[in-house]
Amino acid sequence: MNNRLKDLMNNGLFFFAIATLMLWIKSYFTFRFAFTLDIENTMQEIILVIAPLGSIIVFLGLSFMFAKKHRMKAFLTLYFILSFVLFANVVYFRFFNDFITVPVLMQYQNFGELGGSAAELMHLSDIMLWIDFIAVCVWVKMQDSQYFLALRKRTIGLIFSTAVMAMAVNLAMAETERPELLTRTFDRAMLVKLLGVYNFHVYDGVMTAKSTTHRAFAESSELSEVQHYVNAQKGKPGEYFGKAEGKNVVLVSMESLQNFVINYKVNGQEVTPFLNDLIGDSLYFKNFYHNTAQGKTSDSEFLLDNSMYGLPRGAVFTTNSGNEFNATPEILKKEKGYTSAAFHGNNDSFWNRDIMYKSLGYDKFFSEEQYDVTEENSVNYGLKDIPFFKQSIPKIKSLEEPYYSKFITLTHHYPYILEDEKNKMIEPANTGDGSVDRYFQTARYMDEALKKFMQDMKDAGEYKDTVFVFYGDHYGISENHNRAMSELLGKEIRPFEHAQLQKVPLIIHSPGLEGKTMETVGSQVDLKPTILHLLGVGTEQDIQFGTDLLAKNREELAIFRNGSAVSEDRLYSAKENICYDKSSGEEIEAAKCDPIKEKAQTELEMSDKVVYGDLLRFLDEVQPISEKSKPGQPEKQN
């Protein structure tokens, strides 16, 4: 090595610049190719290049805050953290098609349960995300001096000035491309595309702190505003009001089941033969959508029991479990004397259920500890569905009637693994995408589990006085698998088709309830009023954003957590800001979707206001209802 190159390699400013450049290049290529950010024009491409630079310089520059002898260790630590943030988001994005948020990190206790899911998400190519860090470490190791980064204050000031300039240019360009980006955007992909993943995490941290302080300053007048809005949306109960009065309720959350599998065949075999038959003598809602976001199954549970939306970041179950709620179990206990119970073959703390169920008013919670779980009868997240339902029958019979019960299935969960060959009742698809191909096998297994469960309920004498509600909890196949889905469905997966794939099955079955296919557009937020009205319970005094799916002349609307919306004749995709005519699937003038777009924005903001401000604690102050009975603590079953 000649003297000039040696001097350069020993120059702290040169080292800082090259390290910054390597991390900058790595960040850009990761944004461009590891995430699906839909770059729409040259301006967005330029923004994507610029976005990481300012934040990288700032974060690495924090090492200058340390004493000179500790500065290099601080620099390497910061470089590692930035690399790990990038790596973690890449892995998370592969399944969730989303980015990590602070509330998601608060769900850290869930990570230990991921098992095969996490392993499936990691690829050998991920090593590329660490090569630059290794190179930096080797470079540092070659240095003799611990004061390698002992730069002059003037030089450090110039470094930070460069960072501020880069961030200012980035923000100005981002605001030009998407006005009100930081105040009116639900879409995390848009924030990452225009601000970069590091700035996104800073923004997310600020928003988390802001939402945390919201409760302290909330006032009852805010709930009055929300109540005025929801009262204006409520329709009158329809002809089905009280049709299932006095009956037990069995809710089954069908893990990751999307509606396209209903009556769908793979290799000539039905994926859901039991559900296909059940639809014939049940109320089947073919235009029913999920509203979940990062909370996934816990979001669907929250929607089911509260008729409010999940949060834009994280999950209510983990961030706001101490709130006051007016959930279905509490209402049914007070109005009709129902016993409530939740059944789940995983540990009780997953999604913070052991705490949240108490807040929702559940009397009993049967979790993994109350089941016989072995290595042979479990997979991924816990007990397989068939033994789960089988072992649940004696527990159901132990409940005092009438009861309101909820069952959370597990087997049909990413990565859709069935290790025992006898559980594979259908051949996989043949798209070359392992997750998609196996999806149909675990869906078929769950369908068989539901068939056996229904027969066991009949044999146990629990069938005839019960109303069964089977609903899909959230999507199972994300946008990351559009190629395989396009092959299966025989058409390109545009934003329009992607939105339609967010339909999940809703089947309401009860002896004496005539079968009918319902065309109305609805979503999970509508489940609470629909169930309560079937049981003959009025909802006039409740704070709810959904409407009875069985009511006449209801407004047909489904609102997605990202601001997209579907009505009877329009579909608005918030991510792309495109309006579609539903009947033709063609793009139409954007203004024609303005009514549903604005309603989605209003409704999501109001729901968030209720949750973040814990506004239901003011419920008695703003409406003349009888004193609410506080739910007791759910008993831990032994």
Q: In this structure, which long-range contacts are made by residues 394-399, counting pairs with CB atoms below 8 Å and at least 24 apart in sequence? A: 395/341, 395/343, 395/366, 395/370, 395/637, 396/250, 396/457, 396/460, 396/462, 397/460, 397/462, 399/339, 399/341, 399/364
Token pair 């290790």: residue: 419
Alpha helix segments (H runs only) across 406-506: 434-459, 482-489, 495-500
H/E element holding 55? helix 42-61
C-alpha 136/C-alpha 72 separation (Å) is 11
Length of the chain: 638
Helix (H, G, I), strand (E, B) or coil at 266: strand
369 CB neighbour count, 10 Å cutoff: 12
Of the CA atoms within 13 Å of residue 545, those in its CB half-sphere come to 30
Decide if 374 is catalytic. Answer: no
**Residue closest to 140 by CA, chosen among 59, 71, 65:** 71
Tokens of 427: 């051949």
Of the CA atoms within 13 Å of residue 150, those in its CB half-sphere come to 9
| Residue 487, phi-psi category: left (phi > 0), alpha (psi -120 to 50), beta (remainder) | alpha
Helix (H, G, I), strand (E, B) or coil at 331: helix
**Residue closest to 27 by CA, chosen among 90, 76, 77, 69:** 90
DSSP string, 195-263: H-HHHHHHHHHHHHHHHHHHHHH--HHHHHHHHHHHHHH-----TTTTTTTT-EEEEEEETT--GGGTT
C-alpha 348/C-alpha 250 separation (Å) is 20
Of 20, 101, 185, 297, catalytic: 297
Tokens of 330: 């509490």
Helix (H, G, I), strand (E, B) or coil at 573: strand
**Residue closest to 448 by CA, chosen among 380, 361, 373, 389:** 389
**Residue closest to 34 by CA, chosen among 226, 185, 193:** 193
**Residue closest to 392 by CA, chosen among 453, 443, 446, 455:** 453
Token pair 């559980």: residue: 423
DSSP E strands, 541-606: 557-559, 565-567, 570-573, 578-581, 587-588
**Residue closest to 192 by CA, chosen among 424, 34, 420:** 34
552 CB neighbour count, 10 Å cutoff: 12
Q: Which residues are part of the catalytic machinery?
A: 297
